Amino acid sequence: MRKYREIDNQLMAGKVLASGGVIEYYAFQCVDFNEFIVDVENVTFHDCLFLGCRFTKSMHYNIDGSNVVLTSLKVPFNVFKTTLYNRDTLYNAYDCNRPETLNDTYDSKVYRHYLATGIHADDINETLARTLHDHSMSDALHDFLDGYAEKDIVAVMGGHALSRRDKAYRQIVMVSKMLTEHGKLMVSGGGPGAMEATHLGAWLAGRSNDDVDAALSMLEPYESYKEDSWLSSAYNVIEKFPQETYKSLGIPTWLYGHEPATPFATHIAKYFENSLREDGLLAIAKGGVIYTPGSAGTMQEIFQDAVQNHYLTFGYASPMAFLGEDYWTKEMPAYTLLEQLSERGKYRNMILSITDSPEELVNSILSFK
């Protein structure tokens, strides 16, 4: 079976069209063919995909019934997005000095549309648009991850309500900072709390601990994402400590659209369907998953990850590292339960560790080969 070659920018499209003749087995994404009017007249398309493209007036003569054409739908989001989001695309109209401008951003507009059309929409135009958008996100996500060895991708799970003033917040920052400096791509659900701390740590990689303390002192007065200055304070840190070297990946969802995506994540794969996002996040973290204090959502992720490791779903098991001994053995004794079930053979292939030390946790992840 032939594999379609993806063409998602004008430069690539121009090279393909310049060859002339019959163009077969290409997937054109968001290409504006009006830039290539002369070249289009000299080609015939056969068994190609056209996703969200703009066509010349005469192109219908070149596209026979073997091709599939999907045009953009009437929704306020890009159905066929070819790249991941970032803070500039999600928060395109945001002004740090005017917190109310958050309502004017792409992210807020899409969230309002999402709520207005229903979390579980029943209009086929809407459900198709969301499905195609999430497919495009997954495609862009895997293109991005192709640049990393799979065991260099490490995820952090934890509560969205974790205060910026909490001791655990700084611990997560340091863990993420150290792992990023060792070449790991840090991934999280992309929201506030423990997730934000993950991306702040990656953003501050290569800097001193004094810089970490300075950044935290700028953020701590606005400890919760519910405060107006939560987002602007993050932008202020980014401005004070600029960098273009280190990357991190956030994977949020509009299901929790009331929780803003952290701007510290350099790359953001935002989904409509939360189940795709949750399963995908655990699936890509083949270098290990770090569990920090959280509640029901984090507990769900722990046992979902344990199932993947038990069945060697992706060919091998990955580390499950827990930060916070008292929390995970007494308050929410998930570690204790996993350890006991592993000892009894009810769960197999568990690579478990628990510590209160960021340095020990980092070493447990780095020791995984």
SS3 content of the chain, % helix, strand, coil (to 5): 45, 15, 40
Task: Note whether residue 124 is domain-resident.
Answer: no
Structural domain tally of the chain?
A: 2
On the question of pLDDT at 360 being above 80, the answer is yes
On the question of pLDDT at 183 being above 80, the answer is yes
Task: Note whether residue 130 is domain-resident.
Answer: no
For 123-195, strand residue ranges (E) read 153-157, 185-188
- Residues 36 and 166 both lie in one domain: no
Which residue's structure tokens are 């992309």?
Answer: 190
- Residues 198 and 295 both lie in one domain: yes
List the Cα angle 283/284/285 in 5-degree steps: 95
On the question of pLDDT at 1 being above 80, the answer is no
Task: Note whether residue 137 is domain-resident.
Answer: no
Give the tens place of pLDDT for each residue, 94-117.
Answer: 999 999 999 999 999 999 999 999
State which of 20, 54, 70 marks the end of a domain. 70
- Residues 47 and 175 both lie in one domain: no
Inter-residue contact 288 to 296 (CB < 8 Å): no
Averaged over 129-135, what is the pLDDT? 97
Take residue 200 and report the two structure tokens written for it.
């702040």
State which of 70, 94, 112 marks the end of a domain. 70
- Residues 31 and 163 both lie in one domain: no
Q: What is the model's pTM? A: 0.96
Map residue 267 onto helix, strand or coil: strand
Task: Note whether residue 59 is domain-resident.
Answer: yes
List the Cα angle 277/252/301 in 5-degree steps: 50
For residues 235 and 113, give the distance between their C-alpha atoms in angstroms, rounded to a whole number.
Answer: 26
On the question of pLDDT at 313 being above 90, the answer is yes
* Furthest C-alpha separation in the chain: 71
For residues 287 and 152, give the distance between their C-alpha atoms in angstroms, rounded to a whole number.
Answer: 5
Confidence of residue 71 (pLDDT cuts 50, 70, 90): confident
Task: Note whether residue 95 is domain-resident.
Answer: no
Task: Note whether residue 297 is domain-resident.
Answer: yes
- Tell me the residue range of the domain where 42 lies: 5-70
Task: Note whether residue 142 is domain-resident.
Answer: no
Give the tens place of pLDDT for each residue, 260-300.
Answer: 999 999 999 999 999 999 999 999 999 999 999 999 999 99
Map residue 42 onto helix, strand or coil: coil
For the chain, strand residue ranges (E) read 5-7, 21-24, 26-29, 43-46, 49-51, 68-70, 153-157, 185-188, 248-250, 267-268, 289-291, 319-323, 351-355
For residues 177 and 90, give the distance between their C-alpha atoms in angstroms, rounded to a whole number.
Answer: 24
- Nearest alpha carbon to residue 231 among 110, 92, 91, 84: 91
* 248-250 sheet: strands from edge to edge: 267-268, 248-250, 185-188, 153-157, 289-291, 319-323, 351-355
- Residues 162 and 293 both lie in one domain: yes
Residue 102 φ then ψ, to 5°: -55, -30
Take residue 366 and report the two structure tokens written for it.
């780095």
State which of 70, 88, 122 marks the end of a domain. 70
Alpha helices, H only, 118-241:
124-145, 167-181, 194-203, 209-219, 229-240
The pLDDT of residue 82 is 96
Task: Note whether residue 134 is domain-resident.
Answer: no
